[in-house]
Amino acid sequence: MVTIRPAGQDDVDIAAGLARQAYGHYTARIGRPPAPVGADYAAAVRGATMWVAEDHGRVVGLLVLLDGDGRLLLDNVAVDPSAQGRGVGARLLAFAEDEARRRGHDRIELYTNEAMTENLDYYPHQGYVETHRAEQDGYRRVFFTKRLSPA
């Protein structure tokens, strides 16, 4: 059973390794490592913005959420490749929606890299709508939003 909890200091290295595994295969497509590979997971723990998904005590996913301007930014979501296809990503997205509502937001925004074509198919199936595309921090990103109904 997958449970989600706030990330702690002991999760920093685990999260960094999980991000390398989950995003590493995109490096060739993008031409450099995706942004989450070099993210500061210690800062995410210090800022209380990261959660981890555990399955029988093993971290199998992570989620970073940031508040801003009437919306919650889903800054990073990653699932260990060995746990993909088991609903962990959907569970993390549902948690993000619940957290957004809890914080009084009516929408979630996220972005992904244009080269991560799997995500361009996945997010619309989860209710996200593409809003625009732009270059940001040297990456070609695709931006999505999802309007949330009240709980």
pLDDT in tens, 30-81: 999 999 999 999 999 999 999 999 999 999 999 999 998 889 999 999 999 9
* 30: nearest Cα among 108, 112, 130, 126: 112
147 domain-assigned: no
Residue 31 in domain: yes
What CATH number is given to the structural domain containing 11? 3.40.630.30
- Split into its structural domains, the chain has a count of 1
Q: Does residue 68 lie within any of the structural domains? A: yes
**Is residue 79 a contact partner of residue 61, using CB atoms and an 8 Å limit?**
yes
- For 143, the token pair is 């931006």
For 123, residues 6+ apart whose C-beta sits below 8 A from its C-beta are 110, 112, 130, 144
Domain span at residue 75 reads 2-106
Single pTM value for the model: 0.94
In a domain, 8, yes or no: yes
Q: What is the DSSP letter of 82?
A: G
Cα 111 to the center of its chain, rounded Å: 9
Q: How many angstroms separate the Cα of 74 from the Cα of each of 8, 10, 29, 49, 141?
A: 19, 22, 23, 10, 14
- What are 91-144's pLDDT values in tens digits? 999 999 999 999 999 999 999 999 999 999 999 999 999 999 999 999 999 999
